[in-house]
């Protein structure tokens, strides 16, 4: 309550919101916030991104200057790749107005929350991670409906006031998402299996096809929906994914090691021609998936 008691946070509808990084996620958030807040300011090093966002009506105005863009903002959202967020956190504290809510949209939280803890005491930090994405990047792929019905993870720090968390919840709901408060450590553990591991598997699959079937000109004529879906996330932005993998290494490697064991079990059953064993394992897996997506 140290900061919250001094500076009462405005309701979302009266907030000026600055979004730093007007790419797929930032641009989509800006567009989704139109009508839910007072105004949205776009901050990006790329003037073209600002112009596109403005042309689409996603932002009221934009600037390439971080200081100018966030100075008057009640809420600042960092929407760059994870390690760019961490760099921004080193610099941005000096520009923010007292009581400002500072959020991010980064996919891993351990390093970001650590950097947020070092912010000036009159800033309200709050980790954020909307569970959505696309295998395309950049403002041109932005879509204000991206967050509709998705879970928006909020990871408060100990110092985060209840008003700041409430404003974060309002922002998540304002873009059509469901806020869910999850600690940074727990979210990093969960997304390692549920988000980062699928990426590695998709990449391994594409890499395999490249090494085996891609020499056959028929390969891409017969490729079916299973391959397309299983490999989709291999098209994700590489800078974003390298940042994610490098800042969630321990959890990602742990999840991957479990997966490698599970894959080896399956391949061994096929190799041994153990039909009954295979049927049993595959039936259990099918039921498990059906419980996940009823």
Within residues 57-116, the interface with a second copy by CB under 8 A covers: none
Stretch binding a second copy (CB under 8 A), from 12-20, 37-45, 46-54, 286-294? 286-294
Residues in the chain, overall count: 294
What DSSP element (H or E) covers 180?
A: strand 178-181
Binding positions for a second copy, 130-189, rule CB under 8 A? 131-133, 150-151, 153, 178, 180, 182, 186-187, 189
| # residues near a second copy by CB under 8 A | 93
Residue 171 near residue 83 (C-beta atoms within 8 A): no
Please say which residue, 162 or 283, places its beta carbon nearer to a second copy: 283
Question: Which DSSP state fits 104?
Answer: E
Contact stretch for a second copy (CB under 8 A) within 1-9, 40-48, 62-70, 193-201: 193-201
Which of the stretches 56-64, 72-80, 98-106, 216-224 binds a second copy when contact is defined by CB under 8 A?
Answer: 216-224
Residues in 254-283 at the binding interface with a second copy, rule: CB under 8 A: 254-260, 262-267, 270-271, 273, 275, 278-279, 281-283
Q: Where do the H-state alpha helices sit in 175-214?
A: 184-191, 197-211
Task: Identify residues 219-258 at the interface with a second copy (CB under 8 A).
Answer: 219-236, 238-239, 241-242, 245-246, 249, 252-258
Position of tokens 């105004």?
39
Q: How far from 246 is each of 83, 109, 193, 242, 252, CA to CA, in Å?
A: 9, 12, 15, 6, 9
For 147, phi and psi rounded to 5 degrees? -95, -10
Residue 27 CB, shortest distance to a second copy, in Å, is: 18
Please report whether residue 285 would count as binding a second copy according to CB under 8 A. yes
116 close to 125: Cβ distance less than 8 angstroms = yes
In whole angstroms, what is the distance from residue 6 CA to residue 3 CA? Answer: 5
- Interface with a second copy, residue 117, by CB under 8 A: no
Q: What tokens appear for 135 in the block? A: 């295998």
CB 177 to a second copy: min, Å: 11
């Amino acid at each position: 309550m140290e900061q919250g008691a001094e500076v009462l946070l405005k309701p979302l509808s009266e907030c000026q919101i600055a979004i730093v990084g007007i790419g797929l996620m930032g641009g989509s958030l800006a567009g989704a916030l139109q009508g839910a807040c007072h105004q949205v300011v776009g901050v990006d090093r790329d003037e073209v991104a600002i112009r596109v966002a403005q042309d689409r009506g996603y932002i009221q105005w934009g600037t390439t200057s971080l200081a100018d863009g966030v100075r008057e903002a009640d809420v600042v959202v960092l929407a760059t790749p994870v390690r760019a967020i961490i760099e921004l956190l080193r610099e941005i504290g000096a520009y923010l107005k007292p009581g400002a809510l500072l959020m991010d949209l980064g996919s891993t939280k351990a390093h970001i929350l650590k950097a947020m803890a070092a912010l000036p005491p009159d800033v309200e930090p709050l980790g954020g991670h909307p569970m959505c994405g696309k295998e395309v990047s950049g403002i041109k792929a932005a879509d204000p409906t991206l967050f509709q019905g998705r879970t928006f993870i909020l990871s408060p720090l100990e110092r985060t006031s209840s008003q700041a968390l409430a404003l974060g919840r309002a922002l998540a709901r304002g873009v059509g998402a469901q806020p869910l408060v999850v600690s940074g450590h727990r979210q990093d553990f969960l997304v390692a299996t549920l988000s980062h591991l699928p990426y590695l598997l998709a990449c391994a699959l594409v890499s395999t096809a490249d090494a085996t079937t891609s020499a056959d000109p028929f390969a891409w004529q017969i490729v079916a929906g299973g391959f397309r879906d299983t490999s989709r996330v291999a098209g994700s932005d590489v800078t974003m994914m390298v940042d994610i993998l490098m800042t969630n290494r321990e959890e990602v490697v742990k999840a991957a090691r479990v997966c490698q064991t599970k894959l080896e079990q399956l391949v061994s059953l096929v190799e041994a021609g153990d039909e009954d064993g295979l049927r049993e394992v595959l039936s259990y897996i099918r039921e498990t998936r059906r419980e996940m997506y009823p």
